[in-house]
A = this chain, B = another copy of it.
Amino acid sequence: MKNDIPQYAIGVDYGTNSVRALIVNTLDGAEIATARYNYKRGEEGVLLDANDPNLARQCPSDYILGFIESVSKAVNAAKGQLDFDPQRVVGIGIDTTGSTPLPVNRDGLALGMLDEFKEDLAAQAWLWKDHTAHAEAAEITDAAIRGGHPYLTKCGGTYSSEWYWAKILRCMRTAPHVARSTYSWVELADFVPAYITGNTDPETMSRCVCAAGHKAMYHEVWAGLPSTEFLDGLEAGLSRFRYTQKAVPSNQQAGRLSSKVAEHVGLPEGIPVAVGALDAHMGAVGAGVKTGTLVKIIGTSTCDCLVSPLDQPLPDIPGMCGIVPESILPNMYGLEAGQSAVGDIFNWFVNNFSPYKDVESDKAHAMLTEVATLLNPGESGLLALDWNNGNRTILTDPLLTGLLLGQSLYTTPAEIYRALIEATAFGALTIIQRVEEFGVMVDRVICCGGIADKNPLVMQIYADVLNRPINISRSAQACALGSAILGAVVGGAHDSVELAQLAMTGFKQELYKPVPANVNVYQRLFMLYKQLHDSFGVKETTLSLFSVMKELIAIREEARYSESRST
């Protein structure tokens, strides 16, 4: 830290349904005020189309209102705190969902906010979970592979319908009038910093390497975005959206807070604003990611973040959704992986198959957890695959589904609930094994998100399955904290992101340690999981599965007579 006078940084985290602003003390990361703005337009902030379940858009005006409302409310709340003074806010950081690109005009104004396009879904922001472009994504994958291009080597080998170019291509084909009026497509993570600093010119505005590298096939090895020829080969004119500025990491400034916006939020003008980033990556920063430490942000799905020093060679890793220099920390490769459904699987089970009558979802989770906690690992005889929403890492295959086996006539809901938790833990271990195969070692895991905070059974199972100690991020708002850390760095409160992390992040008291007896059982179960994983998920794999059910029965019989308990 630079000095002992308290200074503050603001992190603003754009989620799927709301924006959250967080004001933290740069000395110790103390969170002194927070405020939330729920998007006004659409259903819980998402514009939908009754005729197309794949469509999910967002209204750009909500982003601007969201910044002003959440930050001004947080600033007002902070004013009640000892020592806080808006003048002591040294920097602002922004993180957002992504890939959430929106079309802008020559001035960098969002098309969706212009009268002409206000009602046009194609002119709004294309939210990360919009899957209308699945055909275009497949086309991009095909073109890259067939053309022998390297573009997919840094993002797992398969382009996603959630990503930048697939969405732009889709817009050109299905809403050409919008595409014609579009000067550039801007990721939400770049749109907000541009707007609040006034640096909105699409030619010169900051483009964050985080979104560009993970979602738009940007890499210095091939001089930035994919070539004009490649893009125009997909659709004539697509290359018009190939911006040429160098994408930059978030420890750089996007600009300074404009007087207009500063006035609205009750802050002095000129506060440094960091280049934006994707939410999960800032979550990793806020949770304390560093070499050897995996951060898992566990929610409805899971995002895994890792870093690896830039000065050590790192091969492409098949199935990783991204390996991008400086996308998380400066001087480090940022690695992103993920599981397409985690909390969503538990919710699906509870909402459809809970045995508890007239009980709310949260309470049903708690009740099932209580019973499941009493089970020994392996005691249910069940084994599941966590693919109800496909598999992101390491198979990058949405055309996969859930699997449950080992059911008897006595199998209980709590047993299945636990098996589903275990399945997600096995999925997590599969990711760790993949990165370790390629030299990125994982000694420790930090979890954050609601499930990590609320469900000790899930965390203990993860510790046992992963066979690594698990810490829980101290902040319940790791993404916003990560952004605030970047704000503190661009504001000069710390000399580096690492030093800022050291000062501003921490763990909760709970440490989940692997229990050796449980680890042993889970190693046996994971062998079986891996057999199912490879049989159903990896092309041209032929394994004998005859022993799977028999092994599960053998493990079950042993576990029933075992004394060890998982928690």
Residue positions of A touching B, CB distance < 8 A: 341, 344-345, 348, 352-353, 355, 357-358, 381, 385, 387-389, 399-413, 535-546, 548-550, 552-553
The answer to whether B401 touches A553, judged by C-beta atoms less than 8 angstroms apart, is yes
The answer to whether B389 touches A409, judged by C-beta atoms less than 8 angstroms apart, is yes
Among candidates B352, B404, B535, B541, residue contacting A412 with C-beta atoms closer than 8 Å: B352
The answer to whether B549 touches A545, judged by C-beta atoms less than 8 angstroms apart, is no
The answer to whether B535 touches A540, judged by C-beta atoms less than 8 angstroms apart, is no
Given the complex of chains A and B, what is the CA–CA distance between A412 and B352 in angstroms?
Answer: 7
The answer to whether B353 touches A413, judged by C-beta atoms less than 8 angstroms apart, is yes
The answer to whether A404 touches B404, judged by C-beta atoms less than 8 angstroms apart, is yes
What's the nearest-Cβ distance from chain B to residue A551, in Å?
10
Among candidates B344, B385, B409, B540, residue contacting A546 with C-beta atoms closer than 8 Å: B540
Q: 23 pairs across A/B with beta carbons < 8 Å?
A: A344-B409, A348-B410, A352-B355, A352-B411, A352-B413, A387-B549, A399-B549, A399-B553, A402-B405, A402-B408, A402-B411, A403-B403, A403-B406, A404-B405, A404-B407, A405-B536, A535-B535, A535-B546, A536-B545, A537-B546, A539-B546, A540-B546, A542-B543
List chain B residues, Cβ under 8 A from A403: 403-407
The answer to whether A544 touches B542, judged by C-beta atoms less than 8 angstroms apart, is yes
What's the nearest-Cβ distance from chain B to residue A371, in Å?
12
Closest to A389 in B: B409
List chain B residues, Cβ under 8 A from A387: 549
Closest to A344 in B: B409
Given the complex of chains A and B, what is the CA–CA distance between A543 and B385 in angstroms?
Answer: 19
Given the complex of chains A and B, what is the CA–CA distance between A405 and B535 in angstroms?
Answer: 13
Among candidates B341, B355, B401, B545, residue contacting A535 with C-beta atoms closer than 8 Å: B545
The answer to whether A401 touches B412, judged by C-beta atoms less than 8 angstroms apart, is no
The answer to whether B355 touches A357, judged by C-beta atoms less than 8 angstroms apart, is no
Given the complex of chains A and B, what is the CA–CA distance between A352 and B401 in angstroms?
Answer: 23
What's the nearest-Cβ distance from chain B to residue A417, in Å?
11
Q: Which 8 A-B pairs have the closest CB atoms?
A: A402-B407, A403-B405, A542-B542, A357-B357, A353-B353, A535-B545, A401-B406, A348-B409
Given the complex of chains A and B, what is the CA–CA distance between A399 and B549 in angstroms?
Answer: 7
What's the nearest-Cβ distance from chain B to residue A353, in Å?
4
The answer to whether B538 touches A546, judged by C-beta atoms less than 8 angstroms apart, is yes
Closest to A382 in B: B401
List chain B residues, Cβ under 8 A from A542: 542-544
Closest to A352 in B: B413
Q: Which of A345, A381, A409, A546 lies at the interface centre, i.e. has the most chain B CB atoms within 10 A of its CB? A: A409
Given the contacts A407-B403, A546-B541, A355 and B353 also touching, CB distance less than 8 Å? yes
Among candidates B345, B389, B409, residue contacting A388 with C-beta atoms closer than 8 Å: B409
Given the complex of chains A and B, what is the CA–CA distance between A406 and B413 in angstroms?
Answer: 19
Given the contacts A540-B544, A541-B544, A542-B544, A341 and B549 also touching, CB distance less than 8 Å? no
What's the nearest-Cβ distance from chain B to residue A394, in Å?
15
List chain B residues, Cβ under 8 A from A553: 399, 401
Given the contacts A401-B381, A402-B406, A348 and B411 also touching, CB distance less than 8 Å? yes
List chain B residues, Cβ under 8 A from A388: 407-409, 411
Given the complex of chains A and B, what is the CA–CA distance between A202 and B423 in angstroms?
Answer: 58
List chain B residues, Cβ under 8 A from A412: 352
Given the contacts A353-B355, A544-B541, A549 and B409 also touching, CB distance less than 8 Å? no
Closest to A408 in B: B388
The answer to whether B540 touches A399, judged by C-beta atoms less than 8 angstroms apart, is no
The answer to whether B550 touches A399, judged by C-beta atoms less than 8 angstroms apart, is yes
| Supplied contacts A401-B406, A403-B407, A540-B546, 4 more A-B pairs, CB within 8 Å | A399-B550, A402-B408, A403-B404, A536-B546
List chain B residues, Cβ under 8 A from A546: 535-541
Closest to A348 in B: B409
List chain B residues, Cβ under 8 A from A341: 409
List chain B residues, Cβ under 8 A from A355: 352-353
Closest to A553 in B: B399
Closest to A407 in B: B402
What's the nearest-Cβ distance from chain B to residue A557, in Å?
10
Given the complex of chains A and B, what is the CA–CA distance between A402 and B353 in angstroms?
Answer: 17
What's the nearest-Cβ distance from chain B to residue A398, in Å?
9
Given the complex of chains A and B, what is the CA–CA distance between A412 and B348 in angstroms?
Answer: 9
Given the complex of chains A and B, what is the CA–CA distance between A557 and B537 in angstroms?
Answer: 20
Closest to A341 in B: B409
List chain B residues, Cβ under 8 A from A548: 536
What's the nearest-Cβ distance from chain B to residue A375, in Å?
15
Q: Which of A381, A539, A545 lies at the interface centre, i.e. has the most chain B CB atoms within 10 A of its CB? A: A545
Q: Which of A536, A541, A553 lies at the interface centre, i.e. has the most chain B CB atoms within 10 A of its CB? A: A536
Given the complex of chains A and B, what is the CA–CA distance between A405 and B389 in angstroms?
Answer: 13
List chain B residues, Cβ under 8 A from A540: 544, 546
Closest to A415 in B: B352
